[in-house]
Amino acid sequence: MSRAGTVAQPSDLIDVAALERAYVELVPDVSNPDQQVAFGTSGHRGSAFDTAFNETHILAITQAIVEYRAAQGITGPLYIGRDTHALSLPAERSALEVLVANGVRVVADARGSVTPTPAVSRAIIAYNAAGNADQADGIVVTPSHNPPRDGGFKYNPPHGGPADSDATSWIADRANALIAAGLEGVQRTEVVGGSDERVELVDFRADYVEALGSVIDFDAIRAAGLRIGADPLGGAAVEYYAAIAERYDIDLTVTNPAIDPTWAFMTLDWDEKIRMDCSSPNAMASVLARKDEFDILTGNDADADRHGIVTPDGGLMNPNHFLAVAIEYLFTHRAGWRADAAIGKTLVSSSMIDRVAESLGRRLWEVPVGFKWFVPGLVDGSVGFGGEESAGASFLTADGTVWTTDKDGILLCLLASEIRAVTGKSPSQLYGELTARFGAPVYERVDAPATREQKARLGRLTGDAVTATELAGDAIVARIVEAPGNGARIGGLKVVTDRAWFAARPSGTEDVYKIYAESFVGVDHLRQVQAEAKAIVDAALAG
């Protein structure tokens, strides 16, 4: 019997001391691909137990970042933040030792505490918008929603969002070369905690919380008298929500203020692992149990770049559903945005967003998977909202200027309360109204086995590789290998009909490819789409 959705047992918990020892003691062999530095869509991730995230990795990556930013002429401050994973604090210390030794002007949290990803993004953007002669960038030490045994390390250049593949490829290659050379070329010095005068300090929390008034209508939330619950799931948002409640005088309760690197209070995810995925009903089971106590109840992952929205009438909302509701609300309640500001979505997000965009008369900007693709549009205001199916999004301030260029889960959680306050309806009720107008889509992601060679071939496919003319009884109207919004390669394939679509992308970490599919007909039709999608992809890979 599956234990998914039940509270973790002692046998599920990591040995934090052993993990920290492995971080220092195990040295990676970069001739082994599993132990190399490799940046996915959200930085380098892995576990010290697997020799995939160790001190050697972080020293080398940080030195590579120092050299990259020097080559790019980036001479301003580097803002660094971390989440609550056990490996995040030691990794931050390792990074500081390299940054200080290289003479980088580095800025850390004044409270010596954890920092959500969006707070770092916001700090970078604010500095660079202030007319300084130099430019800031940043590092966030986080594996996001990954299990407690993992660590993560992400670089954000001066635009404040995730680095693009050109930057991350250079940094990864240089880091692996430094590791292969036994860290020769890595500069390092001892840094004395938060008291080292070579490390500048900033109150990330105070600055972020104060600026939130430019992007969320707190007056409406306060006037409505909403009862709001926020569960940070033991992540970096825990200290931020209390400060938000106090600053804006709203009825917001932090339902679980605990921070525990083992995450012993979590309910297990679908695979019986501890995973702080705020879009998973299993991981959010303890939050869902309290849904009737609040008008809006929310969850975040460990670095607070993702959001989970819970309503009394609908429970945990599917991320695609909330994105569609958020988009319709924002584009009808933000008069300060440009009239031509587009709606940004990743190509594996729901087509409900397409229908909402059409009804609003707004341009849809469809990009490959990865939040980095939204950065240019958010920076210049040409994209009002950027969102992805994995519960990550951000949007512009009320006057149409950039807020963050990385995902902001706190922002989207607060938006849910604003929507409830202004409309008098829950986001789930509003989604019901959308389905009444546009139909009720069924969406799911499944995995199919694939070798490394097959995954590489999938990433290089052209539309001509698909010879099928129909999908689940409907004519195929598009075979997409380049994103319509920006022409970038999607690293896979998307096939579209008038009533359904599927997309296939290789996994970056497992020997599988992912099939995303959606049908506006129903579950049986979705199953037919998924079966034919696998046959179409397999035929294309064999061709």
Catalogue the active-site residues. 144
Distance CA 328, CA 385 (A): 10
491 within 8 A of 480, measured Cβ to Cβ? no
Instruction: Calculate the CA 102 to chain-centre distance.
Output: 30
Q: The tokens of 393 are what?
A: 């999004």
DSSP letter (8 states) at residue 448 = E
Q: Is 52 helix (H, G, I), strand (E, B) or coil?
A: coil
On the 0-12 / 13-18 / 19+ scale of CB atoms within 10 A, 354 is: middle
On the 0-12 / 13-18 / 19+ scale of CB atoms within 10 A, 81 is: buried
> Nearest CA to 160 among 136, 144, 133, 184?
136
- How far CA 47 is from CA of 147, 498, 507, in Å, comes to 9, 43, 18
On the 0-12 / 13-18 / 19+ scale of CB atoms within 10 A, 125 is: buried
Tally of CB atoms within 10 A around 371: 26
Angle (CA) 419 423 427, round 5°? 50
Q: Is 41 helix (H, G, I), strand (E, B) or coil?
A: coil
Residues 6+ apart with CB under 8 A from 241: 230, 232, 252, 254, 410
Write phi, then psi, for 261 (nearest 5 degrees): -65, -15
Q: In sequence order, what DSSP letters do the residues of 202-250 get, joined into one string?
A: E-HHHHHHHHGGGTS-HHHHHHHT--EEEE-TTSTTHHHHHHHHHHHT-
* Core vs surface per residue 102-120: b (16+ CB within 10 A) or e: bebebbbbeeebbbbbbbb
Compute the radius of gyration of the chain from its Cα atoms: 23
Q: Is 163 helix (H, G, I), strand (E, B) or coil?
A: coil
